Structure 1
Amino acid sequence: MPSIERTGTLAGRTVSRAGYGAMQLERLHDDRPAAIALLRRAFDLGVDHVDTAHFYGNGFVNGLLRDAIRPGDEVLVASKVGADPNPGGPIPLRPAQRPEQLRASVEDNLRSLGIDRIPLMNLRRLDTRPGLLAEGDQVVDVDDQLAVLTELRDEGKIGAIGLSSVTLDVLRRALPAGIACVQNAYSLVSREDEDMLALCLAEDIAWVPFCPLGSAFDSLPKVADEPAVAAVAQAIGRTTAQVGLAWLLHHAPNVHLIAGTASVRHLEENIAALDVEFDAGTLATLDAVPSRSSDVSLR
């Protein structure tokens, strides 16, 4: 089998297909130097796409990126709106789907990142689990949301527009606005969005799966629990995480990884998924793993 293509196009830029999801940096709230060191290690390893949000730690994670990114790093920062911080609440987030809230959230991201333009802004819809679902006045038509994001793009405050946690219908309706990427929960063992991935591939839209190993939400099936993945990992001398991530890269050329971790060792292992090769038989074995539905009763 050919080796994995190491770079791909995201928001009009060529970047490594092994990016980094910064949400887990909230776990290092009491050790800021360690968090900064982890980000610097990621950049040293070639990571040039980082996924973040102001609602990660109420600006804490964005502040880490502001301090860690140096002139010349050329890191594509992708942030998201659609929720706001809710410090002290039962869930540290509250929905923020209305157009005026999206605009305010973009301004929050600009301030906490310390930049005047965010290269890629993802709209986190609340259409599907895992996570919050929109209720009441937070049920907002995607056209109204895209209108304000298009205005912000025209104003130069954001660059490309992406979508997160969306249905196939919403993606189709959004295509005329120019969509750069889609972020949905998706992994080797949870492939309910295969039709959406195919549409993204046809429309030259990057597919950026969150929870690519199923580990961030209890409601998602875990890649490490799949016997075929464990067997392949043992046979080729890799971790189950590396097998799961490498399968995603092999599965479609528009996939970009944003696996998150607060461990430097795990960061290094995740990025090394770029080097994992499968022979035809191994890839067929992994392709045959059944997709297991999420437990949508859980958040």
Structure 2
Amino acid sequence: MRELTIGGDLTVRRIGYGAMRLADGPGRPADPAAVPIWSPPADRDGAIALLRHAVEAGVQLIDTADAYALGGNEELIAEALHPYRDGVAIATKVGVLRPSPTEWVPLGHPDYLRQQAELGLRRLGVERIDLLQLHRVDPAYPLADQVGALRRLQEEGKVRHIGLSEVTVEQLKEAAGIAPIASVQNVYNLAARQHEEVVDHAAAEGMAFLPFFPIAMGARLDAAARVAEEVGATPSQVALAWLLRRSPTLLPIPGTTSIAHLDENLAALDIELTDDQFARLNA
């Protein structure tokens, strides 16, 4: 299955693009994973070219957040892609403060969530956000207040679908009693499987599951490399193909600053793992 319908009416290809990587930080560390996602990219033209290529190559879901580069990531997406072509959906997140390059602080005050959603609408240049996700649950406020703020935005026509990020099954169930929950975005990959129950719950409820850091392989790199050799692919492609087979509602959002790597990721849609290969990756 190459497509997934989010929330009953938003159909997109099952590999999206995570735009978090299109941000820089002070000091520009040699390790890309160490960049604190603090400022817009130094190579703005390159980032815009990559976003435009992504859409031309068939990406239909682009994921961002107000916390990425202090809103600069949303502005970059709008500069590259607005007006958005039919079939392209933008998912963004609210609910995290960035007091400094190294701090990510949950803030779930309902007024703050509404303010950030309004800013997201302006920065993205849209009247309605396709998918607005609560970036983190803030234990200082009732979940009902946090999800309720998003529900009110939805009722006002400013949000199409609501999602949650880094949550448990219990939190998803509670949130679903407050508003329709269309998606969940937790870390999940070959190496990090602590959210198996959430993956299965999302599938049972018809929720999209957007795994972030989807290509990490950890100790399963050797197994992925062996399967990759068998199918004529790269280990990264195998890691994505495993996710696509793991659950029918998984929709990976790998990020990259390389057009070649982006095309490689999208080609994972064409890889079909055998039962034996899937079992070996699960082991």
Partner in structure 1 of residue 130 of structure 2? 119
Question: Counterparts of 1:224 and 1:47 in 2: how far apart (Å)?
Answer: 30
Q: Match of 1:33, SS?
A: helix
Q: Does 1:210 align with 2:212?
A: yes
Residues 224 and 230 of structure 1 are in contact (CA less than 8 Å); yes or no, is this contact kept in structure 2?
A: no
1:228 counterpart letter in structure 2: A
Q: Trace 1:103-252 onto structure 2 (pairs within 5 A).
A: 103-126=114-137, 134=138, 139-176=140-177, 177-214=179-216, 222-223=217-218, 226-252=221-247
* TM-score normalised by length of structure 2: 0.88
Q: Match of 2:163, SS?
A: strand
Tell me how far 1:265 sits from its aligned partner. Answer: 1.1
Residues 62 and 112 of structure 1 are in contact (CA less than 8 Å); yes or no, is this contact kept in structure 2?
A: yes
Tell me how far 1:207 sits from its aligned partner. Answer: 1.0
Q: Does 1:75 align with 2:88?
A: yes
Residues 223 and 229 of structure 1 are in contact (CA less than 8 Å); yes or no, is this contact kept in structure 2?
A: no
Q: Provide runs of 4+ in structure 1 moved above 4 Å.
A: none
More relative contact order, 1 or 2 (CA 8 Å, 6+ apart): 1
Alignment RMSD: 1.7
Provide the aligned length of Structure 1 versus Structure 2. Answer: 265
Further displaced range: 90-99 or 251-260: 90-99
> Which sections of structure 2, spanning at least 5 residues, go unmatched?
25-39
> Which sections of structure 1, spanning at least 5 residues, go unmatched?
127-133, 215-221, 289-299
Tell me how far 1:225 sits from its aligned partner. Answer: 5.4
Residues 106 and 136 of structure 2 are in contact (CA less than 8 Å); yes or no, is this contact kept in structure 1?
A: no
1:7 counterpart letter in structure 2: E
Question: Counterparts of 1:171 and 1:52 in 2: how far apart (Å)?
Answer: 21
Identity of aligned residues (%): 42
Q: Match of 1:160, SS?
A: strand
Partner in structure 2 of residue 50 of structure 1? 62
Residues 229 and 286 of structure 1 are in contact (CA less than 8 Å); yes or no, is this contact kept in structure 2?
A: yes
Q: Match of 1:163, SS?
A: strand
1:21 counterpart letter in structure 2: G
Q: Does 1:32 align with 2:44?
A: yes
Q: Match of 1:226, SS?
A: helix
Residues 43 and 73 of structure 1 are in contact (CA less than 8 Å); yes or no, is this contact kept in structure 2?
A: no
Question: Counterparts of 1:94 and 1:71 in 2: how far apart (Å)?
Answer: 31
Partner in structure 1 of residue 34 of structure 2? none
Give per-residue Cα distances to partners, 1:2-52, cap 9 Å, x unaligned. Answer: xxx111112321110011011001147111111111011111111011101
Residues 80 and 121 of structure 1 are in contact (CA less than 8 Å); yes or no, is this contact kept in structure 2?
A: yes
2:65 counterpart letter in structure 1: A
Question: Counterparts of 2:176 and 2:106 in 1: how far apart (Å)?
Answer: 24
2:4 counterpart letter in structure 1: G
Question: Counterparts of 1:190 and 1:93 in 2: how far apart (Å)?
Answer: 21
2:22 counterpart letter in structure 1: L
* Structure 1 residues 228 and 192: alpha-carbon distance in aligned structure 2, compared to 1, 3 A threshold: same
